[in-house]
C-alpha cells in the first residue's frame, strides 16, 4: 500500500501506482486541505514519504474534449487523433515535431519507375497489444496492412459497414480514386497499386487514416459477434496500450513494454478531459496536469511569467485567408483583387484578432512547409494606391459582402472581429462591405457556391505537410465549387501543381511549387492574412515535449523529471 500527497489531496494507490513524485509545495497544500478531508487522510499521510521514491512516472494531459471514438479512420477531429495516437502506428510516420516522414511499421519502400507502385517492406517482430478480450497469436504482418486499407476501400469488405463508418479522411484525400489495389506479396511485403502517380503518397500514408489495425483481432471479434468492439477497445502496435476510457472524464494508457521502438520513458499516460481553457490553466498551475492544450490568449502573458510553466510556441501549419469569388465581377479582375489586398492592414489584424499569436501570411502555404517561397513580396499596405487602382479599373462605389465564420479556428480565432477590421479598411478606399455569417454547416455549404456573392473568410490546417495538400486542394481547378472558395481555375498555376503531383524528384517539385506561389501572388485569388502561432504551456518538469506541426498532442518520447 502506497500513500502520497497529490495536489493537496491524500491519495492511495496500488503497489503499481500511477503517481506524481512527492513535492514540498504539495505537502504545504495538504496542511490546508486536511481541514476538509482530515477524517479520511490523516493517518495515511504518515506513510507517504517512505514510498515516494519508487513511484512510476505518470504524465497527465489536460485535453479539451472527448474523442469521438478510438478508430481514427472514422473521424476527422484532432481530439480523436490525439486519443488514438498512443495506441497505433502507421507504415510511415511523421518524425516528432516535424513534417518529415520516417519509417515506422514499414522499414523501407520502393517506388516503381512510373510512380504507380509502392512496395513496402514491413518490420518483423512487431507485437500487437493484448486485452481481456484478445491475445494475439502472431506478430504484425502484411495481412494487417491489407485489412486496414481494404476495410476503407472495398465496399464489400465484411468490416466496411461495421460501425456505420464513413471514412471521411480516406475519401477526402481521394484514396478511393487513387488506390487501384493493395496486394500482399508475402508476409512482410505489401504492394500499393495506384491509378495514377501521386508524389505526396508517402506523406499521405503517415496520416491518421492510414492507421494499422490487427486483422486477427477483427476476425476474433467478428467470430464473437461483436465486430464493433475493435473500434471502441483499441488494440494496436503503438508505444502505449489502452487501459480505460470514461466519456467526458478520462482516458488512461500504460506503457507498452514490448514496443518495437524504444520504450516510452513514462509509465502511464492520462488524458484529463477538461473543456474550459481557464480551468485547464488552473489545473496546470495546481499540478493536476503536466501539459494543457489551447490556452486562452489572455492567459499567455501570465503563463510566460509563471516559474513553474514552460510556454512553448511554434508556427502552426495553417493559413487564414479571405477568398474572393474570382468568377464574379469585379473580382474576376486580378488588379481589383490586388487593390483590395493592398487596403487590408494585416498587422492590425494580427494584433487585434490573434493578440500577437500570429504571423502575417504572404503565401498560401505556411513557412514551415518545404518549398515555401520566401522571395515572394507581399502586397504593401497602401490604401491610397489601392484607391487609385480601383479608380483606374473603373470600380467605383463598390459594395460587397465579407463572410465571417461563426466558429473559432487557430487560423482565425475571431472571424467577426477580423471582418470588422477589413470592413473598416475597405471603407477607407470607398468600398462598402457588409458582414454576413451563417451557421457553420451552412457557411461551408453556401461558401462553395460558384455564384456566391462576396469574399469568404476561411482557412486550412495542413494534413501531411505536403504543399499539394494546400495548393491543389484549395486552389486547384478540381476544387472549384468545393474547397476552392475563390472558384479560381487558372491554367498556368494548374499546370504547375498538376506536374508537381506526379514528379517524384523533391528538388523539381520545390521549383514548381515556388513558381506556383509567384503566380498565386500575381493573380491574388485570396487575401492571405495570417498563419497562427501555436502556444502550448507545459510544466517545468516535462522533458522533451514537442509541439506537433499538425496540431496534435503526442507523448511518445516525452519524459518527466
The verdict on 288 binding other proteins (CB under 8 A) reads yes
Stretch that binds other proteins, among 1-9, 124-132, 133-141, 418-426 (CB under 8 A): 1-9
Minimum CB distance to other proteins, residue 441 (Å): 2
Q: Does 79 bind other proteins (CB under 8 A)?
A: no
In terms of CB distance, is 231 or 379 closer to other proteins? 231
Give the shortest CB-40-to-other proteins separation in angstroms.
3
Angle at alpha carbon of residue 440, lines to 162 and 473, rounded to 5° = 70
Distance CA 100, CA 246 (A): 34
Taken in order 266, 270, 271, 277, the sign of the CA dihedral is: negative
- Quick one: cell of 444? 461551408
CB of 427 to other proteins, least distance (A): 29
Rounded to whole angstroms, the Cα distance separating 173 from 204 reads 8
Give whichever of 108 and 445 is closer to other proteins, judged by the CB atom: 445
What lies within 8 Å, CB to CB, of 201 at 6+ separation is 118, 178, 192, 194
Stretch that binds other proteins, among 228-236, 320-328, 429-437, 494-502 (CB under 8 A): 228-236
Minimum Å gap between C-beta 232 and other proteins is 8
Is there binding between residue 151 and other proteins (CB under 8 A)?
no
User: How far is Cα 426 from Cα 395, in angstroms, rounded to an integer?
Assistant: 13
Phi first, then psi: give them for residue 56, nearest 5 degrees.
Answer: -65, 165
Nearest to 168 by CA among 72, 67, 308, 85: 72
Q: Yes or no: say if 143 and 131 are a contact pair by the CB < 8 Å rule.
A: no
Closest CB 489 distance from other proteins, rounded Å: 17
Q: Taking the complex as a whole, how short is the minimal distance between the CB of residue 250 and other proteins, in angstroms?
A: 6
In contact, 234 and 84? CB cutoff 8 Å: yes
**3-state SS class at 489:** coil
Which span sits near other proteins by CB under 8 A: 17-25, 101-109, 393-401, 519-527? 17-25
Query: Minimum distance from CB of 132 to other proteins (Å)?
Result: 11
For 71-128, strand residue ranges (E) read 92-94, 101-103, 106-111, 117-122
Q: Which helix (H) or strand (E) holds 175?
A: helix 175-178
Binding region for other proteins (CB under 8 A) out of 120-128, 227-235, 416-424, 517-525: 227-235
Residue 100 or 282: the one with the smaller Cβ distance to other proteins is 282
Residues in 230-249 that interact with other proteins by CB under 8 A: 231-232, 243-244, 246-249
Phi, psi angles (nearest 5°) of residue 110: -120, 145
Residue 410 or 549 having the CB closest to other proteins: 410
- Position 225 contacts other proteins (CB under 8 A): no
50 near other proteins, judged by CB under 8 A: no
Shortest Cβ distance from residue 172 to other proteins (Å)?
5
Report the site for other proteins in 483-522 (rule: CB under 8 A).
483
| CA nearest to 433, candidates 399, 387, 406 | 399
Residue 24 binds other proteins, judged by CB under 8 A: no
Query: SS3 for 111?
Result: strand
| Phi-psi domain of 524 (left: phi exceeds 0; alpha: psi -120 through 50; beta: other) | left
Residues 162-191 that bind other proteins (CB under 8 A): 163-166, 168-169, 171-172
Which CB atom, from 210 or from 386, has the smaller least distance to other proteins? Answer: 210
Nearest approach, Cβ of residue 321 and other proteins (Å): 12
Which is nearest to 472 in space by CA: 451, 486, 493?
493
408-467 positions binding other proteins, by CB under 8 A: 438-442, 444-445, 448, 458-461
296 binds other proteins (CB under 8 A): no
From residue 330 to residue 369, the character string flagging contacts with other proteins as x (rule: CB under 8 A) and all else as - is: ----------------------------------------
19/350 with CB nearer other proteins: 19
3-state secondary structure of 86: coil
| C-alpha span between 196 and 546 (Å, rounded) | 36
Amino acid at each position: 500500500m502506497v500513500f502520497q500527497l497529490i495536489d493537496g489531496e491524500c491519495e492511495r494507490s496500488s503497489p503499481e501506482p500511477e503517481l506524481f513524485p512527492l513535492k514540498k509545495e504539495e505537502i504545504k497544500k495538504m496542511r490546508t486541505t486536511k481541514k476538509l478531508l482530515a477524517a479520511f487522510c490523516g493517518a495515511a499521510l504518515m506513510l507517504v514519504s517512505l514510498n515516494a521514491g519508487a513511484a512510476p512516472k505518470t504524465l497527465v494531459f489536460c485535453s479539451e474534449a472527448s474523442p469521438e471514438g478510438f478508430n481514427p479512420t472514422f473521424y476527422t477531429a484532432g481530439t480523436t487523433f490525439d486519443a488514438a495516437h498512443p495506441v497505433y502506428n502507421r507504415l510511415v510516420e511523421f518524425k516528432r515535431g516535424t513534417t518529415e516522414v520516417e519509417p515506422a511499421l514499414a522499414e523501407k519502400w520502393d517506388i516503381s519507375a512510373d510512380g504507380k507502385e509502392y512496395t513496402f517492406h514491413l518490420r518483423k517482430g512487431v507485437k500487437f497489444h493484448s486485452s481481456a478480450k484478445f491475445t494475439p497469436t502472431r506478430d504484425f504482418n502484411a495481412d494487417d496492412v491489407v485489412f486496414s486499407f481494404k476495410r476503407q476501400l472495398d465496399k464489400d469488405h465484411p468490416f466496411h459497414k461495421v460501425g456505420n463508418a464513413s471514412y471521411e479522411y480516406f475519401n477526402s484525400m481521394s484514396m478511393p480514386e487513387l488506390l487501384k489495389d493493395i496486394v500482399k506479396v508475402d508476409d512482410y511485403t505489401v504492394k500499393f497499386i495506384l491509378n495514377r502517380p501521386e508524389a505526396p503518397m508517402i506523406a499521405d500514408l503517415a496520416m491518421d487514416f492510414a492507421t494499422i489495425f490487427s486483422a486477427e483481432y477483427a476476425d476474433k471479434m467478428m467470430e464473437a459477434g461483436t465486430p464493433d468492439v475493435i473500434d471502441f477497445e483499441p488494440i494496436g502496435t503503438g508505444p502505449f496500450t489502452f487501459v480505460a476510457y470514461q466519456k467526458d472524464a478520462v482516458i488512461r494508457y500504460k506503457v507498452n513494454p514490448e514496443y518495437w521502438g524504444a520504450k516510452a520513458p513514462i509509465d502511464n499516460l492520462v488524458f484529463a478531459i477538461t473543456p474550459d481553457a481557464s480551468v485547464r490553466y488552473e489545473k496546470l498551475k495546481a499540478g493536476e496536469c503536466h501539459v494543457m492544450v489551447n490556452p486562452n490568449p489572455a492567459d499567455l502573458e501570465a503563463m510566460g511569467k509563471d516559474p513553474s510553466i514552460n510556454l512553448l510556441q511554434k508556427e502552426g501549419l495553417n493559413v487564414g485567408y479571405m477568398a474572393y469569388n474570382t468568377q464574379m465581377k469585379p473580382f474576376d479582375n486580378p488588379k481589383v483583387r490586388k487593390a483590395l489586398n493592398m487596403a487590408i492592414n494585416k498587422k492590425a489584424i494580427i494584433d487585434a484578432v490573434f493578440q500577437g499569436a500570429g504571423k502575417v501570411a504572404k503565401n498560401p502555404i505556411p513557412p514551415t512547409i518545404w518549398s515555401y517561397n520566401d522571395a515572394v513580396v507581399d502586397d504593401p499596405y497602401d490604401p491610397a494606391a489601392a484607391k487609385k487602382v480601383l479608380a483606374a479599373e473603373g470600380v467605383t462605389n463598390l459594395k460587397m459582402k465579407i463572410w465571417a465564420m461563426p466558429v473559432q479556428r487557430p487560423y482565425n480565432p475571431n472571424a467577426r472581429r477580423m471582418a470588422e477590421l477589413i470592413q473598416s479598411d475597405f471603407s477607407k478606399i470607398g468600398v462598402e462591405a457588409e458582414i454576413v455569417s451563417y451557421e457553420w454547416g451552412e457557411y461551408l455549404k453556401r461558401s462553395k457556391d460558384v455564384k456566391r456573392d462576396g469574399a469568404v473568410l476561411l482557412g486550412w490546417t495542413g494534413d501531411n505537410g505536403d504543399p499539394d495538400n494546400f495548393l491543389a486542394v484549395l486552389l486547384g481547378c478540381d476544387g472549384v465549387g468545393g474547397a476552392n472558395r475563390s472558384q479560381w481555375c487558372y491554367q498556368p498555376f494548374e499546370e504547375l501543381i498538376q506536374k508537381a503531383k506526379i514528379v517524384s524528384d523533391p528538388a523539381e517539385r520545390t521549383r514548381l511549387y515556388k513558381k506556383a506561389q509567384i503566380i498565386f501572388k500575381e493573380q491574388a485569388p485570396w487575401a492571405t492574412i495570417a498563419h497562427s502561432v501555436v502556444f502550448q504551456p507545459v510544466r517545468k518538469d516535462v522533458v522533451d515535449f514537442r509541439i506537433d506541426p499538425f496540431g496534435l498532442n503526442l507523448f511518445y518520447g516525452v519524459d518527466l523529471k
